[in-house]
Amino acid sequence: MASSYNAKEEDGHHSGASSGAGAAKNRKPDNTAFKQQRLPAWQPILTAGSVLPAFFVIGLIFIPIGIGLYVTSNNIREFEIDYTGESSNSPCYSCAKNVTWNSTEPCFCTVNFTLERPFESNVFMYYGLSNFYQNHRRYVKSRDDRQLNGDPSSLRNPSKECEPYRTSGDLPIAPCGAIANSLFNDSLVLYYIDSNNSQSEVPLVKKGIAWWTDKHVKFKNPGGNSNLTAAFQDLGHSTAKPVNWRKAVYELDPSDPENNGFINEDFIVWMRTAALPTFRKLYRIIQKKPGATPTLPSGNYVLHITYNYPVLSFDGRKRMILSTISWMGGKNPFLGIAYITVGSICFFLGVVLLIIHHKYDNRNTSADIPS
């Protein structure tokens, strides 16, 4: 930074100290292309004429892409239902009123809904939260990735970033931090009501909802997946469960040791903090049935909710979303519309430029080149 100023003073010193006359020999600069600034170069110039084709090409490429994206997006089935229960006529009203984050008793409610059209292929079930600031700075940093990676020392002594969810009493919390502490703990079960009014449970797959790398690399249980209880309880020091949790981390999914503790997929999904205050997270996958039957045929469904998660205190909303997925993900008309818009603008500008080019560019190039 200050170099050049100082260099100057130094130049003075040096020229004084060294003999000025001696250096006069052979001072002819090298005649290289680089030193003479004559490197061969491509010298493009943006003129109306030269960018014209680009505009048309962009227009011609973008518009079909946009149409394709838009059509794809429109073909996606999506169904969304809000089960927060803030209004008195909603089925979860009483649950919403009674549940607080430290209530011990679960509250149950059911929501009925109808799918007008059948959902083909795999259906993805999301829960959505609104007005929930998972991207708040205090929240985002309140985690200990070392602990989640199974580091025993971090398990005993979690990072400072986890405050105030670092210790409970004298015991370190595992998993520590605000993110883990506020794990979404509603459970959703979907029943199909067939024509003779009998409810059949829709099979929900809980595997494959988290990133593969998260599940297998980033998140690890301390001391392997076997005997989690010992790892969290006895390994010299025992750990406490997060304050808001009803059960400890090693009881998240006792049935499946590959989905328990830190590598529980619901937990991993929750730990990837959302970008915006209104977000959805993948909850379950409804696998496509073999044969031609749609995954979710049209008809009546009932959603059984174990209502544990309070959101009304911060004016939040909870939703359940069912969505099919295309190669470009869920329903999002934005990309298609944007492509069509930009493409048409380019095309339009191309026309404008064509006019300009014919009116002005030729005049400029031919008439006004000074000798």
Partner 1 sequence: MPCSKLKGICVGEENWVDSRTIYIGHKEPPPGTEAFIQQRFPDNRIVSSKYTFWNFIPKNMFEQFRRVANFYFLIIFLVQLIIDTPTSPVTSGLPLFFVITVTAIKQGYEDWLRHKADNAVNQCPVHVVQHGKVTRKQSRKLRVGDVVLVKEDETFPCDLVLLASSRDDGTCFVTTASLDGESSHKTYYAVQDTKAYNTEKEVDTIHATIECEQPQPDLYKFVGRINIYMNNEPVARPLGSENLLLRGATLKNTEYIYAVAIYTGMETKMALNYQSKSQKRSAVEKSMNAYLVVYLCILISKAVINTALKYVWQSDPNRDEPFYNQRTEAERQRHILIRAFTDFLAFMVLFNYIIPVSMYVTVEMQKFLGSYFIMWDDEMFDEELGERAVVNTSDLNEELGQVEYVFTDKTGTLTENNMEFIECCVDGHVYVPHAICNGQVMPDAAGMDMIDSSPGPEAREHEELFFRALCLCHTVQVKEEETVDGIKHGIHQGKSTSFYISSSPDEVALVEGMKRLGFTYLRLNDGQMEILNRENEVEKFDLLDVLTFDSVRRRMSVIVRASTGEVYLFCKGADSSIFPRVISGKVDQVRARVEQNAVEGLRTLCVAYRRLSPDQYQEVCQLLSRARLALQDRDKRLAEAYDLIEKDLILLGATAVEDRLQEKAADTIESLHKAGIKVWVLTGDKMETAAATCYASKLFHRNTQILELTTKRTEEQSLHDVLFDLSRTVLRQHGGMTRDTFSGLSGDCTDYGLIIDGATLTAVMRPGQEGSNSGNYKEKFLEICRNCSAVLCCRMAPLQKAQIVKLIKASEEHPITLAIGDGANDVSMILEAHVGIGVMGKEGRQAVRNSDYAIPKFKHLKKMLLVHGHYYYIRISELVQYFFYKNVCFIFPQFLYQFFCGFSQQPLYDTAYLTLYNISFTSLPILLYSLMEQHINMDILKKDPCLYRDIAKNSLLRWPSFIYWTVLGVYDAIVMFFGAYFLFDNTTFTSNGQMFGNWTFGTLVFTVLVFTVTFKLALDTHYWTWINHFVIWGSLIFFVVFSLLWGGIIWPFLNYQRMYYVFMQMLSSGPAWFSIILLITASLLPDVLKKVIWRALWPTTTERIQVGTNAGRNGELLYKIKKIFFLIVLWVFWNNCCN
What residues between 297 and 336 interact with partner 1 by CB under 8 A? Answer: 310, 313-315, 323, 325-332, 334-335
- In whole angstroms, give the CA distance from residue 233 to residue 308: 26
Dihedral sign computed on CA atoms, order 34, 36, 39, 42? positive
288 binds partner 1 (CB under 8 A): no
Binders of partner 1 in range 51-70 (CB under 8 A):
51-53, 56, 58, 62, 65, 69
Give 44 or 291: the residue with its C-beta nearer to partner 1.
44
Burial 229-244 (b: 16+ CB within 10 A, else e): eebbeeeeeebbbbeb
Give 193 or 335: the residue with its C-beta nearer to partner 1.
335
- Phi, then psi, of 281 in degrees rounded to 5: -130, 145
Give 108 or 360: the residue with its C-beta nearer to partner 1.
360
Stretch that binds partner 1, among 207-215, 230-238, 250-258, 298-306 (CB under 8 A): 207-215
12 binds partner 1 (CB under 8 A): yes
191 binds partner 1 (CB under 8 A): no
Give 168 or 300: the residue with its C-beta nearer to partner 1.
168
Specify the 3-state DSSP secondary structure of 9: helix
Stretch that binds partner 1, among 42-50, 105-113, 229-237, 251-259 (CB under 8 A): 42-50
Give 155 or 346: the residue with its C-beta nearer to partner 1.
346
Of 211, 210, 205, 194, nearest to 125 by C-alpha is: 205
Strand partners, 79: 322
- In whole angstroms, give the CA distance from residue 238 to residue 228: 12
- The CB density around residue 266, as the number of other CB atoms within 10 Å, is 22
Q: Are 172 and 247 in contact (CB under 8 A)?
A: no
Binders of partner 1 in range 84-123 (CB under 8 A):
100-101, 122
Of 212, 230, 214, nearest to 222 by C-alpha is: 230
137 binds partner 1 (CB under 8 A): yes
Give 1 or 195: the residue with its C-beta nearer to partner 1.
1
CB of 32 to partner 1, least distance (A): 8
- In whole angstroms, give the CA distance from residue 192 to residue 213: 34
Specify the 3-state DSSP secondary structure of 304: strand
Give 193 or 337: the residue with its C-beta nearer to partner 1.
337
Number of residues that bind partner 1 (CB under 8 A): 136
Binders of partner 1 in range 208-247 (CB under 8 A):
208-211, 213-214, 217-218, 244
Strand partners, 130: 317
**Binding string to partner 1 for residues 244 to 283, with x set by CB under 8 A, is what?**
x------------------------x--xxxxxxxxxxx-
